[in-house]
Each structure stands twice: as structure tokens, then as C-alpha cells.
Amino acid sequence: MSHALVTGGAGFIGANLAARLLADGREVVIYDDLSRAHSAANVAWLRERHGPDSFRLEVADVADRDRLTDVVDGAAEVFHLAGQVAVTHSVDDPMLDFRSNMVGTMHLLEAVRTAASDPIVVFASTNKVYGELGHEPELQPTRYVLPDLPGGVPEEQPLQFSTPYGCSKGAADQYVLDYAKTFGVRSVVFRQSCIYGPRQFGGEEQGWVAWLLLAGLRGDPITIYGDGRQVRDVLHVDDLLDAYLLAVDNIDVAAGHAFNIGGGPVHTLSVWTEFGPKIEQLVGHPVPVTFGDWRPSDQRVYVSDITKASALLGWRPRVGVDEGITRLHDWLLSESELVSRSE
């Protein structure tokens, strides 16, 4: 059986995807440098859940062309999730960001292009490729809204790369699409919004849903960058994995397309004015919060228009915001060591 390759497979989304594939009886190769916090814990969780020999782990850098070429050989699908994930880190070290996101993706695409197995490529891009959108937000009591985009941001929205992260992911996004057009690589791009769920340990720089909920459980002080009324559409990781697998199953129509993938207009949340009360209700006590300056290129509103994914893939989110947050809360509580310490 040809294997499924998951780059970044020891991360939050990657570990959940690997678990889904293994549960489906697939042969899985995880390619990860294990540099991020909790990646080793995710590998241990997968081994405990599915068996110590249930998958092959390749510990290597995403920019290592030879190692990538080796693991792509014989793959049926490549889920490319590896890379640098935080805007702030890209500003601190733009060369590392470029190497991880752009160089790594190019090495992967070249390996796929020459692979005899003709693998499908699913690439995890980001809504940051649209920059600050150029639409004037309207301020309401608990949130910003974009009156001229009531259905969310469509794929026809002009790209506007901003920050090194936006540039590296945006350039990689475009190369993945062009390799479908120029070389016939069966590739699909997902411009992902805020993904959350179990195995997301969260951090101040990335993974804000888990980070804020975990801080609330610990009683740690929270800093919100901006006024807390910025809005995102949030998507449970189980729904994202459904989209990935539907793209593979429908690759004849999905290849060469970019999809905006998030919760859509129905699954939205303002970062603090709406999420904060939910956290306090779940943890049972007030949560201390302060506010800092806006971060570079922070969108006041980002909501995905998911019409295209619905039409071409037959996909829609199934996990509601309250249900998903409660599920994440319960998972965090089950990780007693994580909740009991501040990092």
C-alpha cells in the first residue's frame, strides 16, 4: 500500500491527521524535526494510541531536499503542514521563516513533480495571504464586522502579502497552485482560518483559542493585543480533516484550486469580548486581562467564505463553537500536568 506522508505530523493538526489516517488503516509516514514544544508528546500519544510500530517517523528538517525526496517516493498523498507558523517569529527571524515555509515547500514540490507515484498534495496555507483585506470594518459593541463582505472573504479577494510570514506562506501557496497548472501536480491549497481542538497546546504567538482557554484554567494573566473585538471564524480540527480527505477523494475537481477554509459566518468569535465570558463560565472564575498594542498586519475581521468548498467538495463545518470549545476545555482538563503548570 502506498503511504500517506504528513510533514509536520508531530504538530497539532498533523498529529490529529495522522491519527485519523491510522484509524482508517493507512500506512503513514510522519516527517518532522520535533523542534516545537509538545511535538515529542504528540508522537508518544500516537504510539500509545495506535501502537509503537504503527507509523514511520522521519526526524528531519523540512528544508532537507534529499530526505524529503526519499519520503515522497512511493507516497499516494502528501499533506504538507510543516513550516514556521507565527507572524511574530517571522518578524524576529525572516530568514528562518523563508527557509521553513518557502524553501521547504519548493523542495517538496520538486520531489512530488519527479515522483513516479504521482502523489496528491494538500498544502496548509493561511488567511494571512489576504493581508489587511482593504475593507473598512464597522465597530459593534462586542465585535468588528465587514458590512461589504457579509458572507466572508471569498477566494477572489486580491492577495496582499504582509509580514515575512504572509510573504513566505503566500509565495508557497502560489507555487503549489502553479505546479498544478504548469506541471500537472495534483495539488490543493487550503487557506486556513483559526483551527482549534485537542492536541493544541497553544501559545501566545499562535493557537490563541487553546492558549487563552489554558491561561483561564491556570489563572494566568492574559494579554490581548488589540481591543479584543477582532473577529475570527474558528474551525474545529475534526472539520478541517474532513476537508482534507474530501479534497483527496475529489481530487479530479479539487486539483489546482485554493479553498478558504474556516468556520464561515456561522462559526465566528471575537477574541476577547465574546470569548472571554465563555472562558470565565467554563473555568468558574474571573480571568485577569490586560490589553497591548495591535500586532503587525492583524486583521480586525477575518471570516472565510466557504461557499466554494461546499460546492466543489460537499464540505461544511459540523462542530459548533460552543460544542468545540467545551470539547477543548475537557481535553485540556484531562491533561492535568499541562493545566497545573505555567510555561
CA–CA distance, 175 with 105 (Å, rounded to integer): 8
Would strands 138-139 and 144-145 be described as parallel, antiparallel, or unpaired?
antiparallel
CA distance linking residue 192 with residue 104, whole number of Å: 19
- Among candidate residues 165, 196, 244, 302, the one labeled active-site is 165
CB 97 within 8 A of CB 90: yes
Cα–Cα distance between 273 and 290 in angstroms, integer?
12
DSSP E strands in the chain: the ranges are 3-7, 28-32, 56-59, 75-80, 120-126, 138-139, 144-145, 187-192, 194-196, 222-225, 231-236, 258-261, 268-270, 289-292, 301-302
Please provide residue 187's backbone torsions phi and psi, each rounded to the nearest 5 degrees.
Answer: -120, 150
Residue 165 among the catalytic residues: yes
**And the C-alpha cell for 46?**
500516537
DSSP 8-state secondary structure symbol assigned to residue 259: E
Cα(14)–Cα(39) distance, integer angstroms? 10
Residue 131 to residue 163: CA distance in whole angstroms:
9
Alpha-carbon distance of 108 to 187, in angstroms, equals 12
d(CA 225, CA 210) in angstroms, rounded, equals 16
- Chain position carrying cell 498544478: 180
N-term to C-term CA, the chain = 42
Q: Specify the residue for cell string 474551525.
A: 235
| CA atoms of 125 and 127, how far apart (whole Å) | 7
The number of C-alpha atoms within 13 Å of 218 and in the hemisphere containing its C-beta is 19
Strand partners, 75: 3
**Catalytic residue list:** 165
